[in-house]
A = this chain, B = another copy of it.
Amino acid sequence: MEEKKYSYKYPHPSVTTDCVIFGFDDSQLQVLLVERGIEPFKGRWAFPGGFIKMDESCEEGALRELKEETGLTGAYIEQFHAFSDPHRDPRERVITIAYYALVRIQEVKAGDDAARAKWFHLNEVPSLAFDHDLILRAALARLRERIHFEPIGFELLPEKFTMKQLQNLYEAILDVRFDRANFSKKMLHFNILTQLDETVWPTPKREANLYSFNEACYRELKQKGFRLEF
């Protein structure tokens, strides 16, 4: 029998963090999943996550898991919901604090744990372990809400990007189409983009301007009561 060293007067639940990691490949949202090697749900895909340590906050725990899975540090993460159904884990009572992360696919060492981690397009995500299907829907819903008012989309793009890339991102996340000209005008009017001197040839047809997100400028506008809306 295994040793149980930690005793309490009342029963305590286990607490984990799970991290829904989003990436963008210039046309579609993707999500990073890991294949479970043990029961329950052995062989099924799930979000990276794990038990929280007693001396770290949930956010620190989520960032730790993120680093372990992708090698990334300092990524954008946001807590979006705690899932607490008493039977969501068949073994014992586990409450999970769920985060989503926005990362640049290019920067992810997709191979640290390559045998077990894999990017999935959103419409190719299989049935997941535990209640992770539910968690994914909630993460997506929150991301869609957030991007209406916060410039978080840039976390998914390279440092320098074209207007078309940015438009593709918004269209993919919100599942809508925008008029090319109107999208560009609206974005530029916000005054949160820096137009770079460089250009690229995204297709062999014509060169395109490159932009970068000007975070300092955004913070300044936000302080003045400016409300970004898309």
Q: How many residues of A contact B (CB 8 A)?
A: 31
Interface with B: A47-55, A64-72, A120-128, A165-173, which one? A47-55
Q: Which residues between 37 and 71 of chain A lie within 8 Å of chain B, taking CB atoms?
A: 51-52, 54-59
Copies of this polypeptide in the complex:
2
| A204 located at the interface, meaning its Cβ lies under 8 Å from any Cβ of chain B in the complex | no
Alpha-carbon separation in the docked complex, A81 to B81 (Å): 7
**CB–CB A8/B10 < 8 A:** no
Q: Which residues between 121 and 172 of chain A lie within 8 Å of chain B, taking CB atoms?
A: none
| A212 located at the interface, meaning its Cβ lies under 8 Å from any Cβ of chain B in the complex | no
| CB closest residue in chain B, given A149 | B145
| A224 located at the interface, meaning its Cβ lies under 8 Å from any Cβ of chain B in the complex | no
**CB–CB A8/B9 < 8 A:** no
Residues of B within 8 A of A9 (CB): 2-6
Alpha-carbon separation in the docked complex, A58 to B85 (Å): 8
Given contacts A79-B82, A97-B84, contact A54 B8 (CB under 8 A): no
